[in-house]
Every structure is written in C-alpha cells, then in structure tokens.
Amino acid sequence: MKEIGIGIVGGGYMGKAHAVAMQSVGAVFSTNLRPRLEMVCATTDQSAAKYRKSLGFNRCTSDWKQLVNDSKVEAIIIASPQETHREIAEAAFLCGKPVFCEKPLGASLEDSVAMVAAAESSGVVNMIGFNYIRTPAAQFARSLIADGEIGDITWFRGEHTEDFYADPELSASWRTSGKSNGTMGDLAPHMINGALALVGPITTLVAEVETVHLKRPAKCPAKPSESVTRDLSVYEDVTNDDQGQIMCRFENGAMGHLFFSRIATGRKMGYAFEITGTKGAIRFDQEDQNALWLYKAEGPENLRGFRKILTGPSHPDYLAFCQGPGHGTGYQDQIIIEARDFLRAIETQKAVWPTFRDGMEVNRIVELAHDSSESKTWLNV
C-alpha cells in the first residue's frame, strides 16, 4: 500500500463528503493507494482552520493556488462553486496532478471545452462527480440494459426534482442568481448524465426552461441577530431558472423526456427514471435507492407484473459495504465508490468513467436546452 496526499478545494457540503470518503475508501475497498488528507482550502483562513480540525486534514489554506502547487498534495478534488472549476483544474493539470471535479464540469460549455482540452493535453487522470448513477441499483440497471434483459430501448423518462425552493417566500440566495446556479446548471446535469449512461447519446432535442417565482424576499443578513427583522416588502429579482424540461431523441432511436425542478413540492431527492424496452421495463427512484423495479415480458400474462428487487451482495459494489441483502447503502457510500474509482484511475493510469469529456457532453446538452428554449425549436446535438 502507498499513501497519496489529497487536497480538497472546498470544505462545505461536498468537500466534507469527499473528505469522509477518502478517509473510508481504503477500509471499504482495500485500495492499494491509501489517501492522506493533506490540505483543505476554504474562502477564509477561519473557515479553512475549522475544516482542517473537523475533517482531519494536516494543513489548511485560503489560497487554492497554494494547495495546487504544494508538493505534498498529489491529487486534487474540486468541490468549490462551478465558476471556479476551470481555473483550478487548468492550474492542477499544469502541475501534472490528477483532478476529480464535482459536477457540473464548468460554469459554461466554453469552460468545459477548455477543461477537457487541458486535461487531455496533459495526459493526467481526470474524473467528474456524478454520484447517483453509482448506486448499486443504478449500476444494476445499466448491466440489465447492456445484457439485453429488457430488449431494445424504445422510451426513457428521467427527472431530477427537489423542493428546496418550492416556497415562494424563501429568501433569495446565491442559488437564485447566475445562469450556472439555476436548476439547469445544478440539478439537470445529474439526470442528463444518467440518461446518457443508461440509453446513450442524444441526437436531437427541444426544451422549455422557465423561472416560476420571478422575485424572492431579499437575502437575510449574513449574521442575523434577534434585533434584525427581515423586511418582506423588499424583494430581489430571480435571474435563473426554477424548472426545465427536454423532449429528445436518442441515437439508438429511443424517445425521451427529461424534467428538472427545484420547486417540485414534496420531492426531496427525485432522481428517478423509467425505461421501456421491447422485452421489459425498469423503474427506479432515488428516494428508495436500494430497490429496482423490473418487468419482464415473459410467462403467463396473469403472472406478469413489476417486481421489486432489493439490492444486496450480488449487486455492483454492495458487498464492500454490507453482507446483508436489503440492508441498503446510502448517499455517502456513493461518494466512497467514486473515491475508489478515482484512486484506481490514478494507480492504473487508465481513464475511469465519467471523465471530463463525459462532463463536457452533459454541459453541451444543458447549453442546447437553453438555446432551444429561447428559439422554441428542435436542435441537433
């Protein structure tokens, strides 16, 4: 076993998830490379010091350039806002260091194209984080399709729906400004990646993208106190989208529909898909992530029906976490699986899906969806 120094840019929600994953992956998967949490970067010295202590890093900084150029940092995870991804990744590749970048790859298609060019010209390992397609159930769905268990795919419906902004009186925030922070930049990439992974390339599409709640109460103070009362008469413009839908055609001829929303009342983690084939069908919902529903068009008609398959040790990447069928895996486990794949790519110097190029193709669909919504026309990918 060999140690490898890990640097993470960002210590918040996803930064913490990746730090925990890197601390756990060696024990879960017995990896040959054993991560050492070398340095964490945050926006201020105070927050960086907090993350260093709470997450177990050796050192911290508020300057990402210091992290990228540090000799003890041998691989880099970018878990900062998408507007920062390009500059950090390009600098890391110039240093010859492997990069794992959270989705979306860049804040725009232009950023993504540049990041792919930098990655491929450097010849350095690169990966992008699409964790939901890595659940044992989703991996099993991919294998069923690849093995022809449900025949030729004729139709796909996918969604990524949540309700964290369903209440129109929730305050404006960084999420309500900037194109890349809208639903198409935030939630849509996960399901677009899922559609590409499960069915294949998209060839044509038409889309609608809209902002439902055009104004929201002004941002609360950064450090509210009991003496500060928010004035609900002061509203800010929302400058990005609440929801969007894509109708598309896949390269294999299948018809598709994708829907994304941050205002889907009642939906907490609505990463879900339905796939119809000539010999069967598959259903999956991330809110019940340890189950897959499978229909096989075989046997007497009166005995046919969808059956619920609970994941267990016989399904991809499950046994490393638990020996009991139906006990289930969780969100953090998806990130640990990603960590295993990233370390494997570094060790073998062989690309592991999804790479930056796969992330770029997702950004291409997002960009075209915006263009289609504005022009109200079908577009070729």
**DSSP string over 213-237:** --EEEPPPPSS--TT----TT-EEE
Say how far apart CA 96 and CA 380 lie, in whole Å.
36
- pLDDT at site 219: 79
Picking from 339, 317, 313, the residue whose alpha carbon sits closest to that of residue 327 is 313
Please check whether the two domains, 2-130 and 136-329+360-380, share a CATH topology.
no
At 153 the three-state DSSP class reads strand
Parse the chain into domains and list their residue ranges.
Answer: 2-130, 136-329+360-380
Give the type of residue at 194. G
Local confidence pLDDT in tens for the 381 residues of the chain: 799 999 999 999 999 999 999 999 999 999 999 999 999 999 999 999 999 999 999 999 999 999 999 999 999 999 999 999 999 999 999 999 999 999 999 999 999 999 999 999 999 999 999 999 999 999 999 999 999 999 999 999 999 999 999 999 999 999 999 999 999 999 999 999 999 999 999 999 999 999 999 999 997 655 544 444 555 579 999 999 999 999 999 999 999 999 999 999 999 999 999 999 999 999 999 999 999 999 999 999 999 999 999 999 999 999 999 999 999 999 999 999 999 999 999 999 999 999 999 999 999 999 999 999 999 999 999
Which residues are paired to 35 by β-bridges?
Answer: 4
Cα 109-76-102 angle, rounded to 5 deg = 40
- pLDDT at site 231: 59
DSSP strand E in the chain: where?
A: 2-9, 33-41, 59-61, 75-78, 99-102, 126-129, 153-161, 202-210, 215-217, 235-237, 243-250, 255-261, 270-277, 280-285, 291-296, 307-310, 379-380
Q: Cα separations (Å) of 330 from 127, 140, 333, 336? A: 21, 16, 5, 10
Q: Count CB atoms within 10 A of the CB of residue 217.
A: 17
- pLDDT at site 220: 66
Say how far apart CA 381 and CA 362 lie, in whole Å.
11
Say how far apart CA 155 and CA 217 lie, in whole Å.
41
- pLDDT at site 319: 98
Q: Cα separations (Å) of 288 from 198, 309, 328, 381? A: 19, 11, 10, 33
**CATH of 2-130 among 3.90.400.10, 3.40.50.720, 3.30.9.60, 1.10.150.130:** 3.40.50.720
- pLDDT at site 182: 96
**34: burial class by Cβ within 10 Å (0-12, 13-18, 19+)?**
middle
**364: burial class by Cβ within 10 Å (0-12, 13-18, 19+)?**
middle
Cα 87-82-109 angle, rounded to 5 deg = 80
Helix or strand run (H / E) with residue 85: helix 85-94
- pLDDT at site 221: 55
**CATH of 136-329+360-380 among 3.20.20.330, 3.30.360.10, 3.30.499.10, 3.40.50.720:** 3.30.360.10
Do 199 and 206 meet the contact criterion of CB atoms below 8 Å apart?
no
Say how many CA atoms lie within 13 Å of 227 toward its Cβ. Answer: 0
CA 327 to chain centre: 24
Which residues are paired to 235 by β-bridges?
Answer: 217
User: Which residue has 């289609």 as its token pair?
Assistant: 372
- pLDDT at site 227: 46
Say how many CA atoms lie within 13 Å of 364 toward its Cβ. Answer: 18
Give the type of residue at 276. T
- pLDDT at site 226: 45
Assign residue 111 a region (left: φ > 0; alpha: ψ between -120 and 50; beta: otherwise).
alpha
Say how far apart CA 307 and CA 250 lie, in whole Å.
27
Give the type of residue at 225. S
Which residues are paired to 255 by β-bridges?
Answer: 155, 249
Do 341 and 21 meet the contact criterion of CB atoms below 8 Å apart?
no
